[in-house]
């Protein structure tokens, strides 16, 4: 008898890519080419004890400042990442939720979005975008955030204003009574007047007699 052929297929093992090379490779996202970390991956950092400052500008607006050193939770792959000395300008829109614990202590958490406005290559004094272009990029980012918020509002449903709620609720005003009730009330008033008697009109004053004598 002929020997049975093995049905198992050899498994091809893909060689692991070099992190340093894959980091600098060109990638594409929605028609845009980019380098660096691949879309979908994440970072984790530990922040040293920093200083957060706040200045009240309006009843609801505060100006903040924060300066600290952040440290990678793990270790960067050898040869990956940008050169030491590279700078970044990020624009952050976030939720900060705080809870008072004592007279001087609060718990705080920060969740939101950050958008890269510009970068500065190591050893260079110039940024990748001029101040004017950086402002335009910030405006573009804020408009996209506003558009997303409007979509969320439309999907949930707009909140009715007090005027709209009042218009939708049944009114107890006399003017809102049905025509049949108004007609009944009118007939009753006519009956009351007829019971009391007709209203006499004031007598007309006699006409003055004009003299036919000529003067």
Q: What integer best gives the mean pLDDT of the chain?
A: 78
Q: Specify the pLDDT at position 37.
A: 80
pLDDT at residue 215 in the model: 43
- For the segment 6-27, the average pLDDT, to the nearest whole number, is 62
Residue 110's pLDDT is 96
The pLDDT of residue 173 is above 70 = no
The pLDDT of residue 76 is 84
Query: Looking at residue 196, what is its pLDDT?
Result: 52
Better pLDDT: 4 or 140 = 140
User: How much is the average pLDDT of 93-99?
Assistant: 97
Q: Check residue 79 and give left, alpha or beta (phi > 0: left; psi -120 to 50: alpha).
A: left
Q: Specify which residues 100 forms β-bridges with.
A: 106
Cα distances (angstroms) measured from residue 44 to each of 54, 71, 76, 80, 86:
26, 9, 11, 16, 19
3-state secondary structure of 199: coil
Could you tell me the residue ranges of all domains in the chain? 19-156
Element (H, E) at 177: none
Q: Residues with Cβ < 8 Å from 91, sequence gap 6 or more?
A: 114, 115, 117, 137, 138, 141
Alpha helices in 25-172, H assignment, sequence order:
131-156, 162-168
Cα gap 192→79, rounded to integer Å: 103
CA 17 and chain centroid, separation: 40
211 pLDDT band, cuts 50/70/90, is very low
Closest CA to 36 of 51, 48, 26, 50: 26
Q: How far, rounded to the nearest angstrom, does the alpha carbon of residue 122 sit from its chain's CA centroid?
A: 36
What does the alpha-carbon distance between residue 181 and residue 164 come to, in Å, rounded to a whole number? 27
Beta strand segments in 43-183, E? 45-47, 51-56, 62-67, 70-72, 87-100, 106-120
| pLDDT classification of 26: cutoffs 50, 70, 90 | confident
Q: Note the pLDDT of residue 81.
A: 83
Which of 44-58, 153-167, 182-196 is least confident?
Answer: 182-196
**pTM score, whole prediction:** 0.60
pLDDT higher for 56 or 170?
56
Lowest mean pLDDT, pick from 43-47, 48-52, 107-111, 158-162: 158-162
The span from the CA of 18 to the CA of 78, in Å, is 9
Q: How far apart are the first and last CA of the chain?
A: 161
The confidence score (pLDDT) of residue 213 equals 44
Over pLDDT 70: what percentage of the chain?
63
Describe the chain by its helix, strand, coil percentages, rounded to 5. 30, 25, 45
């Amino acid at each position: 008898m002929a020997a049975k052929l093995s049905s198992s297929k050899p498994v091809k093992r893909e060689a692991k890519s070099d992190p340093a090379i894959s980091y600098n490779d060109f990638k594409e996202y929605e028609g845009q080419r980019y380098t660096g970390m691949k879309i979908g991956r994440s970072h984790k950092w530990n922040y040293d004890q920093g200083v957060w400052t706040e200045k009240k500008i309006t009843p609801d607006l505060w100006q903040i400042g924060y300066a600290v050193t952040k440290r990678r939770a793990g270790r960067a792959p050898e040869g990956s990442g940008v050169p030491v000395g590279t700078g970044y300008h990020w624009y952050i829109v976030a939720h900060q939720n705080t809870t008072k614990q004592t007279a001087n202590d609060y718990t705080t958490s920060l969740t939101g979005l950050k958008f890269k406005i510009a970068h500065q290559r190591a050893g260079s004094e110039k940024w990748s975008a001029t101040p004017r272009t950086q402002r335009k990029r910030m405006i573009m980012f804020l408009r996209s955030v506003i558009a997303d918020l409007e979509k969320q509002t439309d999907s949930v449903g707009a909140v009715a204003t007090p005027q709209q709620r009042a218009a939708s609720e049944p009114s107890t005003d006399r003017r809102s009574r049905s025509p049949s009730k108004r007609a009944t009330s009118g007939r009753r008033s006519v009956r009351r007047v007829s019971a009391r008697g007709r209203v006499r009109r004031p007598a007309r004053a006699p006409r003055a007699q004009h003299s036919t004598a000529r003067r």
